[in-house]
Structure 1
Amino acid sequence: MDERMFCFQCEQAAGCTACTGAAGVCGKSAETAAAQDRLTGALITYAGQLVDAGRAPAPEQALLLMQGLFTTITNVNFDAATVDALTEKVHAACPAVAPDYDMQRLWHEPDPDVRSLKSFVLFSLRGMAAYNYHARVLGRISPELDRFFCTALETLSAEGLSMDELWALVQKTGEASYRCMELLDAANTGAFGDPVPVEVPLTIEKGPFIVVSGHDLFDMQQLLEQTKGKGIHIYTHSEMLPAHGYPELKQKYPHLKGNFGTAWQNQQTEFEDIPAPILFTTNCIMPLRESYADRVFTTSVVSYPGIVHIDEGRDFSPVIRRALELGGYKEDTLVPGMNGGKAVVTGFAHDAVLRHAGEIVQAVKDGKIRHFFLVGGCDGTRPSRRYYTEFAKLTPQDTVILTLACGKFRLNDLPLGNVPGTGLPRILDVGQCNDAYSAIRIALALADAFGCGVNDLPLSLVLCWFEQKAVCILIALLALGIKNIRLGPTLPAFLSPGVVQVLQQKYDLKAVTTPEDDLHAILGG
């Protein structure tokens, strides 16, 4: 069947407009895109029925919603058959009393601002669902948030909404996004302790090993438990790097050794001929190359045609057997960072940083720290993303860089040292993308200490975005009233010119330009 797709949910959107051919830039086929549209339409109808029931969805109903939305995130699922199977599961839970919502109604909405705001909400819900799912597997559930997912999804199918009503939905979605990240923070720290700063080597020790990519700390803990005493070393990849900061992972499992490689977009070269299996727990999996496809495993909602999938029982025996078969490297092997570094530091979440809040405030008052930058977010393939590395290099010695998500790999191995006159590193890795919550907590605490608002702090946000979890973070920042965000490498294609104009006027949201010009605009001089 000659199908054509419509997809503009991620930063890769063809021509910065939309992927509309037989396949997306991400490698997703039109068949899979259509399956994801069908799944989304089924979820919208299902959510409407749950709203009509007049109560919060039951835990199993909410879980199905989260799994469905999570499945549609960029670089999570490339297998149309598994997406369709999930749609059938939704249908089984929701006996048809109304046809599924047709996503073409949204994609072909004649009013570009209506389409833009509804898409902004939908893509944020997809990102939120990922965070909600990670919290759920650790036992943290919010009925209030579950109810919001239902009402927000149902609203997407409504016709004739005014712009005021749609902007109000954007605000509510942003507020819910922040609460979702808060829920996941409580789940992660409750299960694994508050992160502490730790230096993570980028050298892979000789012998059998497994590389774990993604975000799900529960999956990581389950694999660590199952590999105890088996002579297998475990290495994080991309967004799993912050796992090293959690005491109940790093201290309890000494075979959690270090980090392999850099951000997700480099996996096709970094995984070439790797003598070890790779486990994908969440996004971002890319179309696989034959040179390493036989060593890839997926779990949770991740799926790729022809790849062994570990089901919800989390029995990682097939991954463990493959690691022992492959044997790993014969000698210790350095897989350096993007800038040639041999180690990186992580673990500067809100608890670790705020323990030193008094020292930080005093350093600002003494003139030792002039400015804070939050430089990070989702990484991607565009060469223009080198901007973030160059920006970090240009920042003065009396400034501090908070970073997070896979975008940190653009700068986290730079030898920027400490702020002169303090013991504070110039680069503080706050954690995963969802740990934007930690960065917000830090900013709010500093604002409180200085007796001012967040927008009055010597703090600038220079963010990179790629997929829907970054959209979820952006909408949360806007809902909190945070202004002067610089976003790149391009503004989202789903934001219409009219919506962008409002965001510029109300929040002073702006696209990045050049590192030199942006730094000059921020610091002056």
Structure 2
Amino acid sequence: MLKIKMLSMVLSIWSIQPDRDELQKWGSRMLCYQCEQTTPGGGCSDIGVCGKEPDVADLQDLLIDAAQRLARSLSTVPAEQRPQGASAQLENALFTTVTNVNFDAESIEALIVAVDTMTDPANPEASGASREERLTNAYKVGISARRARQGENVTGLQDLLLFGLKGMAAYAHHARRLGRTDPVVDAFMIEALAKLAEGLSDPDALIALNLKCGEVTVAVLALLDGANTGSYGHPVPTAVRMGHVPGKAILVSGHDLKDLKALLEQTEGTGINIYTHGEMLPAHGYPELNKYPHLAGHYGGAWMRQRREFENFPGPILMTTNCIQRPAPTYEDRIYTCGLVAFPFVKHVEGSDFSALLEAAKATPGFTDETNAGDHLVGFGHNAVLSVADTIIDAVKSGALKKFVLIGGCDGVKFDRSYYTDLATSLPQDWAILTLGCGKFRVIGHDYGNIGGLPRLLDMGQCNDAFSAVKVAMALADAFECSINDLPLHLVLSWYEQKAICILLALLHLGVKNIRIGPSLPAFITPSVLQVLVDTFNVMPIDTVENDLKAMQAA
């Protein structure tokens, strides 16, 4: 792990003393700042911009507290003596609280009971407490109370770790569903949550744990990559219809390829077409998914457009992971959730039996016309890119290809995310563009041309496929006998939720510097902590397209 001597740098950071009166001042007021969309002032209170109600926010805080207590109890016994399913339980608790996953108080409360029962099976209070009793004490484990006890800088570093763990758990959950686990990953999750349960406040120790979270994230991403490619084959460049054909239809959004595969199997031969939405777009590049002819195309854009787009989709909609918004009345009777996703009045599919969606598709109109807004090329995972590595290396050496710019991450609603579109369309013609995550929807839809017979725009997949970008960068560094920081590569990232946080920690663990992040910096990264990141890694917020492009050209 990258070693950093931080103590002298952070001594001044912790000069701000906790305000002991804050507990009384805040009471049980909701405060959430884990996503990029938080309201001005550093967090959402009263209700989340995402639509999260205060009771749900409090129950999520209590679920995380329960997970930390479970991890602390697990950390005191050898791995072989831990309850079966304990690591999966921790993953589920963490992933449930990721932004736009679960808005259903009842299902969150059931998870709290399950975690508490695993922590202490003999304690009848684990399942006996009422919701009101739980909520009465929720403020004690919330952000405001922790800030009051230990100051905003310590709390911010703790939450940087916690949010990184949430993102890591999401990736590990996908891998576990496909039968891939790693005891090192499970052990770190327990270790880090246990340290948070103990109230770890030493700055150097917190920074070290954050970087270790980045290290383990790299392992988790590799684990998930192996799970996906082992199950569905390595992605290959594939043209995807950005539109629809006549016929009955089901729309699948989120990230979970296993759910998509199950739905494709269950609809085979029924005359029902399956369409991807949002981060499911890259699924078309996997041979074992694309082999189904009724995987007919891609409908719509990124997650935050769903209320408008779902209204016009003439069939049922399946939400497989995070990305759900409060459904509009025009389609709330046609939307279904599965897995950890839940919304109070939305029908939930248990397991992988999607027969209810098939019946709903038969009862809805489907498409009566045909559209195609043009094909989009997916499937440039590390296997596809490295198969033409010699061509790329020759293009760089000849001067035909000057630089690579990775423009990716999460999309969101803010107007200033147009920066990413403007940057991509302003780049010189001899610069290649890499993209992944739903941030791609700010970049795709333009004709960027080719360089040396290769497309200038290479879509590397979902945020779940971030390992591809890491592997390609490391392979190119080896080929050019230099470090990643010496490559003609610029990283311009957009973030929205916690999976982006663990990706950032992974890049910092790898020693990657000069990362540009936007459209705004995390509210939990205080100015003092940000200065540490700037001084150590030269992490920087995005500026104007003109200024950033000049800086990249000069580098």
Class of the TM-score when normalised by the shorter of the 2 chains: over 0.9
Divergent runs of 4+, >4 A: 56-59, 96-102
* Percent identity of paired positions between Structure 1 and Structure 2: 47
Retained in 2: the 8 A contact 1:7–1:19?
Answer: yes
- The corresponding residue for 2:356 is 318
Equivalent positions of 1:145-164 (< 5 A) are 145-159=185-199, 161-164=201-204
Retained in 2: the 8 A contact 1:378–1:405?
Answer: yes
Letter in 1 for 2:295: L
Partner of residue 113 from structure 2, selected from 85, 88, 91:
88
* TM-score in terms of structure 1 length: 0.95
1:331 aligns with 2:340: no
Distance 1:58 1:452, change over 3 A: farther
Retained in 2: the 8 A contact 1:109–1:115?
Answer: no
Letter in 1 for 2:260: M
- The corresponding residue for 2:214 is 174
Retained in 1: the 8 A contact 2:400–2:430?
Answer: yes
Distance 1:59 1:188, change over 3 A: farther
Equivalent positions of 1:115-514 (< 5 A) are 115-159=155-199, 161-251=201-291, 253-312=292-351, 314-334=352-372, 336=373, 342-419=374-451, 422-514=452-544
- For the residue of structure 1 that corresponds to 2:460, the secondary structure is strand
Distance 1:4 1:159, change over 3 A: closer
Distance 1:59 1:507, change over 3 A: farther
Retained in 2: the 8 A contact 1:434–1:473?
Answer: no
Letter in 1 for 2:407: V
Letter in 1 for 2:228: N
- For the residue of structure 2 that corresponds to 1:52, the secondary structure is coil
- For the residue of structure 2 that corresponds to 1:431, the secondary structure is coil
* TM-score in terms of structure 2 length: 0.90
Contiguous gaps of at least 5 residues in structure 1: 337-341
Deviation at 1:107, TM superposition (A): 4.8
Equivalenced residue count is: 513
- For the residue of structure 1 that corresponds to 2:348, the secondary structure is strand
List per-residue Cα deviations over 1:187-225 (Å, max 9, x = no partner).
000111110010101121111111100111111111111
Retained in 1: the 8 A contact 2:253–2:277?
Answer: yes
Deviates more, 1:166-175 or 1:324-333: 324-333
Between the aligned partners of 1:354 and 1:103, the Cα distance in structure 2 is: 47
Between the aligned partners of 2:222 and 2:550, the Cα distance in structure 1 is: 34
Letter in 2 for 1:4: R
Between the aligned partners of 2:228 and 2:429, the Cα distance in structure 1 is: 33
Deviation at 1:95, TM superposition (A): 1.1
Between the aligned partners of 2:197 and 2:147, the Cα distance in structure 1 is: 12
1:34 aligns with 2:58: yes
Letter in 2 for 1:262: G
- The corresponding residue for 1:18 is 43
Deviation at 1:159, TM superposition (A): 3.5
Retained in 2: the 8 A contact 1:126–1:469?
Answer: yes
List per-residue Cα deviations over 1:69-124 (Å, max 9, x = no partner).
11000000111111001111112222179999952353544322211111001001
Distance 1:519 1:109, change over 3 A: farther
Deviation at 1:274, TM superposition (A): 1.9
Retained in 2: the 8 A contact 1:3–1:30?
Answer: no
- The corresponding residue for 2:90 is 65
Deviates more, 1:199-208 or 1:482-491: 199-208
- For the residue of structure 2 that corresponds to 1:323, the secondary structure is helix
Contiguous gaps of at least 5 residues in structure 2: 1-26, 127-136
Between the aligned partners of 2:255 and 2:480, the Cα distance in structure 1 is: 34
- For the residue of structure 1 that corresponds to 2:225, the secondary structure is helix
